[in-house]
Amino acid sequence: MKYIAEPFKIKMVEPLRMTTREDRQEAIKKAFYNGFALKAEDVYIDLQTDSGTGAMSNAQWAGMMMGDESYSGARSYYHLMEAAEDIFGYRYNQPVHQGRAAEKVVFPALTKPGQYWLSNTFFDTTRGHVGLAGGRPVDIVCPEGLDTTTYADFKGDADVEGMRAFIQEHGAENVAGIVMTITNNSVGGQPVSVANMRAVRALADEYGLLLIIDAARFAENAMFIKMREPEFADASIKEITRETFSYGDMYTMSAKKDAIVNMGGMLGVRDNDELAEKIKSFVIPFEGYLTYGGLAGRDLEALAIGLEEGLDEDYLRYRLGQSQYLAARFEKAGIPFQNPVGGHGVFIDAGKLLPHIPWHQFPGHALAVELYIEAGIRCCDIGSLLMDRDPVTGDAQQAPAEFTRLAIPRRVYTQAHLDVVADALEAIKARADQVPGYEITWEPKVLRHFTSHLRPVTA
């Protein structure tokens, strides 16, 4: 795989601290073997998340200086509304401070205790907010999404017939709605096709269910559609986005991903005024007045600009190309990963790389810890550590796959940084049988992977 050159030049740099192996062993021990508790200054290459970690453009920084900080009716709010309506085609769009804030607003408003929410796959905060609202999240992804070795164009698709069978078994009155996550983060940043969105929309209509789009990586998803779904080969990213969103009733979005801002989120309602008014009644007490939604005017301005920049095809080609380059290095080295590679990073199949570690000792997390010790690379588990205990039984839950996610921040790292990551994985592969599993010594009730304390399992 030839590295795709950056469609931008660098005009500001941030120095990185170089650490020794001994430094890193001590740092991760003090952090209770949880990368979220590390000091950022002790990290060399930070692939923990692509959320809010991207580099904003000169246009975005200039826009921040023009941000209108009025409490209500700010000019920057109306700039954002124009951009959002143009891109998504929804009548009501609402800024919030980040994606989980949108979930905090939406799910309590729409969930009755005990109801199910179905999804192609929930990500962590969405799953958590469904549970906090008294609902029960259920993942029903297509079979291809669970097979890491076999290529498929749209591994993020929902299993529509599986959803139909679930609804028929449990009753439509016991299902609050469907959430489609684009791209599908937990199965490797895999795209969802327009054909699948149409089929899920038809299913929702059949049973009178709401369809919500979790749209954090909508532009990357649209680029995959352009590349892989022949119907849209000649369509623009904006046209594909409009088509995709036309099948949803609502969307929630962390704008810290494809809008390339460090803070911000959105939610929207397509054409249901009653639903929009219900959502507004939750926004004001949770997030602030409607025209700022928990954000400063400068953040609203950067978000409006970033939404447009994130649609640029040259940028998106480079964005996907970074993940493809890293995956090509892994393929050559025989390191297993979710194939094809997703949009925002590479998901290493830690269950296969570390087969001696059982799921309840978290191979995805074990590999993340080892990468930090090896080369100062911070990443995270997308596996059984990410899965909170069952909200009803309290039992530990096994994830469908034990991934270690290498999420690449936007416009931040170069080819040389990615080569450091690949070299580190190759070194770990050579001594994979020496990597220990981990056990939890303390955990919270919800979203445990963020703050849990762990320790290595010794023989």
Residues involved in catalysis: 71, 123-124, 214, 216, 257, 449
190 DSSP 8-state letter: B
Measured at the CA of 450, the angle between CA 133 and CA 445, to 5 degrees, comes to 45
Q: What's the rounded Cα separation, in Å, for the pair 219 and 313?
A: 9
CA within 13 Å, CB half, 70: 11
121 DSSP 8-state letter: -
Q: What's the rounded Cα separation, in Å, for the pair 383 and 25?
A: 23
Burial state string for 381-394 with b = 16 or more CB within 10 A and e = fewer than 16: bbbbbbbbeebeee
Residue 137 and residue 115 in contact, taking contact as beta carbons nearer than 8 Å: no
Q: What's the rounded Cα separation, in Å, for the pair 388 and 391?
A: 8
Q: Contacts from 384-387 at CB under 8 Å and sequence distance 24+?
A: 384/359, 384/360, 385/440, 385/448, 385/449, 385/452, 386/124, 386/186, 386/449
28 DSSP 8-state letter: H
Distances (CA, A) of 39 to 15, 30, 46, 364, 413: 15, 10, 11, 21, 19
* Amino acid letter, residue 311: L
Distances (CA, A) of 287 to 96, 97, 292, 413: 6, 7, 8, 33
Q: What's the rounded Cα separation, in Å, for the pair 21 and 307?
A: 40
Q: What's the rounded Cα separation, in Å, for the pair 381 and 406?
A: 9
| DSSP-H helix ranges across 66-171 | 75-88, 99-110, 124-132, 160-170
**Residue entry with tokens 């259920």:** 138
Burial state string for 53-90 with b = 16 or more CB within 10 A and e = fewer than 16: bbbbbeebeebbeebbeeeeebebbebbbebbeebbbb
Dihedral sign of CA atoms 296, 301, 307, 310 in order: negative
**Residue entry with tokens 């070299």:** 423
